[in-house]
A and B are shown apart, each in its own frame.
Chain A
Amino acid sequence: MDYEWNVAINKAIVNNAPKVEKILRENPYINDLAADLREKKLDVLNNIDKYIKQTEESVLRSGGGFHLARDSNDAIDIVRKIIGDKKNIVLSKSNVLYEIKLRETLASEGRDIWETDLGEYLVQINNDMPSHLIAPAIHLTKEKVGKILNENLDKSIDENSKTEDMVHSVREFLMKKYLAADVGITGANAVSADSGSVILVENEGNIRMDTVLPGIHIAITGIDKIVPTLKDAFNEAIVQAANAGFYPPTYINVSSGPSSTGDIELKKVTPATGPREFHLILVDNGRSDAIKSDLMESLLCIRCGRCYFSCPAYRLYGKDFGTSPYTGPTGIMWSAIIFKEYDKSEMCMHSGGCGEVCPMKIPIPKIIEKIKFRYTG
């Protein structure tokens, strides 16, 4: 095993796993929310066409644009049509953006496009790929980060710099990008069908910037992120954050259409201070087929990333266990759904910890067994 990875993963496990256990023990209502959320998400998957239609109607009602993308190319074409020749783009951390290869495609067209989550920014300037769903730079030690920043951003930062100074340096750089951005592109933790709202959980504050400062906000996510109601969407945010070890989350953002005001005679006028345009792009990319298959429960995943730290294969192989950004136990399922890649499932030892800790009670070991069957059957 790579020494640097061994150090990084062990630190991450020690820092995260007991914290999540304590959060859930001290806040038992979160497991109740998770159980309820599972039922709601199952209902959506079982009636996906109805919920997509309802989401579309809700987004249009709120003054936003709604788009359904069959696959990655379709999604990127929709983005191109929305943004036209606008060049300055900021991104929030999103696995779906990686999935459709948005950043590399738009960058190759000469656009100035930046990840604004600190971990994703580090991955971007290191020409790397994320190693964890919610902690993309988990494979980088502090010393390595210092070296990367020195080479790519700020000569005053090096391996011996304080973490606070590293964060400050990135903040200074990104602040200029937020202010110059024409377009902010985010993912979504949940999308509520009844209100057409996008919910985003974060701690850094970058998503607030991405969704408010640019004139156009585009949220791109999978159809699996739809939940029936805004209440369910908030519940998903809480369950996701707690199982990721961030409770309470620093920020939960809600975007329901473009910015608006009713301050003059209570007449709703849009735009106000924030974006003048809001667009939701729901991506299929194999998800509809998966809903009809024996992989269906995979789509219940809320991307908390807890399963990674209970998995011996992830400890050993890191981001090679899966197809980035979909790594770890949940990534084996998502690599199968999105990329039709089954081979990495053979690295799974069926240790079973992933299924134990999954807040959505996805039977991950049994699903991986079925993916193994696809590989060798």
Chain B
Amino acid sequence: MVLTLTPRGLYCEAGDFFIDPWRPVPRALITHGHADHARWGMGRYLATDIAAPVLRHRLGDVTLDTVRYGETRRIGGAQVSFHPAGHVPGSAQIRVAVGGEIWVVSGDYKTRADALSTPFEPVRCHAFITECTFGLPVFSWQEEARVAAEINAWWAGNAAAGQFSLLGAYSLGKAQRILSLLDPAIGPILTHGAVENTNAVLRAQGLCLPETVRVHPALKAADHPGALVLAPPSALGSSWARRFRPGTTGFASGWMRLRGVRRRRGVDRGFVVSDHADWEGLNSAIAATGAETVYATHGYTEIFARWLAGQGYDAHVLQTEFTGESLDEAEPEPEAEAEAESEAEGT
């Protein structure tokens, strides 16, 4: 076994390191910056150079070493390399080779390209530890251009009716992806502090995002008629959002594929935008690895593992503490921090 599951996380004995551990460990390899994968308290961190700025922004002053995609590092008896996962900028799959046996930890991944993240690359391996957040045949995503057209039409329609468009999206990854889809000719784009802070980090490392206006306490909504307001989902129902009236709400998530979930959220519109692979994406990615053994982690693990077993894989469930694009109220990023931030801004 190249990797084993321990109470602190996925462990590589040969290299004496953990991948995305959920308890403090001396040495952690991090696939990407979402809070369920990159936690505070590790002795040393290793991540891609592209993921590093966000990690520093979120974790503060930590000991962080970086690596480029495809570059091989030797750690103890293991050879380690990071490969694009297409999930958020800098996100990686981590390949671990020990004595000729190759394992890959997918982290979170998306197989379709977007404008910001380095596109997913399949990595051949013997064992593949895959997420399966959307591992059911009911999940299939539309072409990026179609979703962009839907969102822009919604925004333009609201603007023409004199309404603000409040769109909920997680502040790391999803929000910037939405920004890349928006047509700035429709109107101004306002951002919640949590979103704008991440924007600033990504812009500083050279990512190209459209012009945005941070929502300050003194900002007058009336000065920005027809604006699209991009905020973390938790901010939409809060007092923070109240100044944008009259307004219509939307939420961008893979879960919006399901009407029931959208209705429970109580938003007017759901846009099916996910940073995870859909059913087809998961299956094609797994096939491309050539792996014989597949471990399904966060998501519909039992169902997905049973399906894979039926397809001839040696498939298992791996019980981790990752949450993926969570359906429950707990979100895969520090929303509490976002709230505190909006409080601090005096809203």
- The answer to whether A and B belong to the same complex is no
Q: Which residues of B contact A (CB under 8 A)?
A: none
Q: Which residues of A contact B (CB under 8 A)?
A: none
